[in-house]
Structure 1
């Protein structure tokens, strides 16, 4: 089907699209938005519509799927907002205090783990953690690039083993 034929076919079904959208949304503005979303998708995938395809049915299926997808998206958003609203100030204060204490213990454990690493591993790892690139670390420490990567890899493995309780 050519673009012109497709356009004529869509225009012929415009009124029925709006009335069908009203059945879903029960609101004229939302129905117009749904029709617009449907037509955008239909235009984007017009190449899939051929002479054997009933354009009206095809457009209605696109509309139904678009409405369902938007509905599910809105439900997820509303449930997320409700959950956030249910948290009281008292719960937030308790949570912040508990998180602060846990963070303090975790940081102490991380420092101990880093200090237990051999210096040959800890220096390249800390530089990498600070945001330096492998090549920059290799240049700074006068080491081959592959050696720096190996040291950082071994440091990660040892730290992972030492800090497995936080995994």
Structure 2
């Protein structure tokens, strides 16, 4: 495919790509950045596009993957950034002492709520909470993985209802 025809196809699909990008970002400035990154990648990878294939799908895939990669990069970056206030010993000790009594009440309520969940929901939930993977729980309990996921989900819903007063306090 000639470069001029390829560039024309890119321009023809820009409005649809922009709409698609807005669904991801919900911010016009971020849409501009995402569109720019997508177009740069599409132009750089001009040689990889096979004539006769669906260019629209190819462009949407580039845009989606660019968004996902940027989201992951930002998530990792934000996880590494902490403020001095969050890690100061004075802040930690003040937080620990003021919440000790509340934590005891909360823990008792959590244990009561957990004990009230039917056993077939509680066991997979506790195992998952302890760090077991869905597959490991399914093998150990001899149930399908979908059942494990459903039971864990149901246990979470039950706990959320029973511990609703704590949700608004956070």
- The TM-score normalised by the length of structure 2 is 0.50
Structure 2 partner of 1:88: 88
Structure 1 partner of 2:66: 66
Question: Post-superposition shift, 1:5?
Answer: 1.1
The 2-side partners of 1:68 and 1:84 are apart by 30
Q: How does 1:17-166 map to 2 (within 5 A)?
A: 17-82=17-82, 86-88=86-88
**1:27-66, CA deviations, whole angstroms, 9 ceiling, x for partnerless residues?**
1111111011000001000111121221111000000000
Structure 2 partner of 1:100: none
The 1-side partners of 2:9 and 2:51 are apart by 11
The 1-side partners of 2:46 and 2:85 are apart by 43
Question: Post-superposition shift, 1:9?
Answer: 0.4
The 1-side partners of 2:21 and 2:85 are apart by 32
SS of residue in 2 equivalent to 1:86? helix
More displaced 10-residue stretch of structure 1: 49-58 or 65-74: 49-58
Question: Post-superposition shift, 1:85?
Answer: 5.3
Q: Which runs of 5+ in 2 are unaligned?
A: 92-170
SS of residue in 1 equivalent to 2:81? helix
More displaced 10-residue stretch of structure 1: 76-85 or 36-45: 76-85
- The alignment's C-alpha RMSD in Å is 1.8
Question: Post-superposition shift, 1:82?
Answer: 3.1
Runs of 4+ in 1 over 6 A off after TM superposition: none
The 1-side partners of 2:53 and 2:3 are apart by 15
Q: Aligned pairs, how many?
A: 91
SS of residue in 2 equivalent to 1:51? coil
The 2-side partners of 1:25 and 1:83 are apart by 26
The 2-side partners of 1:25 and 1:15 are apart by 15
Q: Which runs of 5+ in 1 are unaligned?
A: 92-167
**1:103-144, CA deviations, whole angstroms, 9 ceiling, x for partnerless residues?**
xxxxxxxxxxxxxxxxxxxxxxxxxxxxxxxxxxxxxxxxxx
- The TM-score normalised by the length of structure 1 is 0.51
The 2-side partners of 1:71 and 1:83 are apart by 21
Question: Post-superposition shift, 1:87?
Answer: 1.4
**Structure exhibiting the larger radius of gyration computed from Cα positions:** 1
The 2-side partners of 1:84 and 1:39 are apart by 39
